[in-house]
Structure 1
Amino acid sequence: MEQSIRTQPPGPRRRPPGSGAAEAAVPGQSGPPESRLRTASGGRAGPPVQQLLQRLLTARRARGGSGRPARLTAVGTGVAAMAGTLAAAGVDRLLFGGLGVLFGLGYLVVCFQLAVRVRYPDLAAAPICGPIAFAAALVLLQPVSAQGVTGQVVALAGGLALRAGWLFTGTGLAAAIVAARHLAQRRRHRARERAS
């Protein structure tokens, strides 16, 4: 007895971990600590962040929401392509005075997002809307020295020729993703037919 008292440091004695927290979690309730830590839904009580996430997931399931991204229709794909490409072109012209690398990278991001988010019945809209938005951005935001319709056409042709790499890369990326999605959907459809 004296030996144990001598080896203990001065101050209050330490309790085993978990014993005090479990007893103080729900005061006034009897029973083992495991039963006292149960929540109203029947699950274990966790940190406040976990409880908040659980509530959000439960509310989302109750509303019928899924984790999938919102799918674009053909019209929505055109609007998104125009808005994204014009935004990238506007930022590039504002920062650097012309349409360069930032515009090309923005076009690639827009084409990728269009191909990933378009609905299955409207898959063809993604590789079509991208180049149209690219040409519209050149017409509206490219600096043009010549005036008139002829000057606009020549400037558009020159802009398309100078940026053909970005145009073909973005359009090819969208077409490849759309083709892969189409093939995957056909395989799923065939697998369902065989199963039925």
Structure 2
Amino acid sequence: MEQSIRTQPPGPRRRPPAGAGEAAAVPGPATPPDARTAVPKLRLPPPLRAKLQARLRARTKGRSGPPARLTAVGTGVLALVGALAVAAVDRLLFGGLGWLFGLGYLVLCFQLAVRVRLADLPAAPISGPIAFALALLCFGPASVPGVTGQVVALASGLALRAGWLFTGTGLAVLIVAARFLAQRRIRRSRSS
């Protein structure tokens, strides 16, 4: 003979009357409802626990780790948008590209060189001059229409502002070289 292991008759379960606890509705061990649904605590080794607590404290203080870095594409986009914005403001305020555009280009080159990722370091000194030339092409003085007129206007604009161009590009090259050498020293000290 086979014995049934069911404890309730087949069919829908009856609901307990209002005010009755959950324990009466579900047969089983008498455990409080909170204990059945509570998530067990994870026990971490002390060094790992201390490391996680230090990270949590650093994030709550407003510091969320290393600053966000730009990729090569992000560096190019930021250089182009920044150079065009500074050129537009300079043209709007002073009627042409002058010292405001040059100073804006220096600040832009500094920011690009400082914020670019280590893997994309060459992007900072390359994207700055390209953005400089495109800003000159878009906001430079009006010239003779046609391709030849645009080329002549761009060449004369680059020649007249060569000091700003070389200073900003040189600044970016120096910062990128210093970051590269510092990273190389760190890698050598870790490997030895």
5+ long unaligned stretches in structure 2: 1-55
Q: Quote the residue 2:113 is aligned against.
A: 115
Q: Quote the residue 1:141 is aligned against.
A: 139
In the alignment, the residues of structure 1 paired with residue 182 and residue 135 of structure 2 have an alpha-carbon distance, to the nearest angstrom, of 33
Q: Does 1:125 align with 2:123?
A: yes
SS at match of 1:145: coil
Q: Deviations over 1:45-104 (max 9, x none)?
A: xxxxxxxxxxxx8483599921x3210000000001011111110100000000000000
Q: Which amino acid aligns with 2:163?
A: G
Q: Which amino acid aligns with 1:142?
A: G
Q: Quote the residue 1:192 is aligned against.
A: 190
Q: Quote the residue 1:98 is aligned against.
A: 96
Deviation at residue 178 of structure 1 after TM alignment: 0.1
Q: How many residues align?
A: 137
Question: Which of 173, 184, 187 pairs up with 2:171?
Answer: 173
Runs ≥4 residues deviating over 3 A:
61-64
Q: 8 Å contact 1:115–1:177 — kept in the other structure?
A: yes
Note closer, same or farther for the CA distance 1:94–1:63 as it changes in structure 2 (3 Å cut): closer
Percent of aligned pairs with the same amino acid: 73
Deviation at residue 182 of structure 1 after TM alignment: 0.2
Q: 8 Å contact 1:144–1:151 — kept in the other structure?
A: no
Q: TM-score, normalised by structure 1?
A: 0.67
Q: 8 Å contact 2:79–2:108 — kept in the other structure?
A: yes
Q: Quote the residue 2:156 is aligned against.
A: 158
Q: 8 Å contact 2:143–2:150 — kept in the other structure?
A: no
Note closer, same or farther for the CA distance 1:115–1:150 as it changes in structure 2 (3 Å cut): same
In the alignment, the residues of structure 1 paired with residue 93 and residue 143 of structure 2 have an alpha-carbon distance, to the nearest angstrom, of 20
Q: 8 Å contact 1:127–1:171 — kept in the other structure?
A: yes
Write 1 or 2 for the structure with the bigger share of helix: 1
Q: Quote the residue 1:76 is aligned against.
A: 74
Q: Which amino acid aligns with 1:65?
A: S
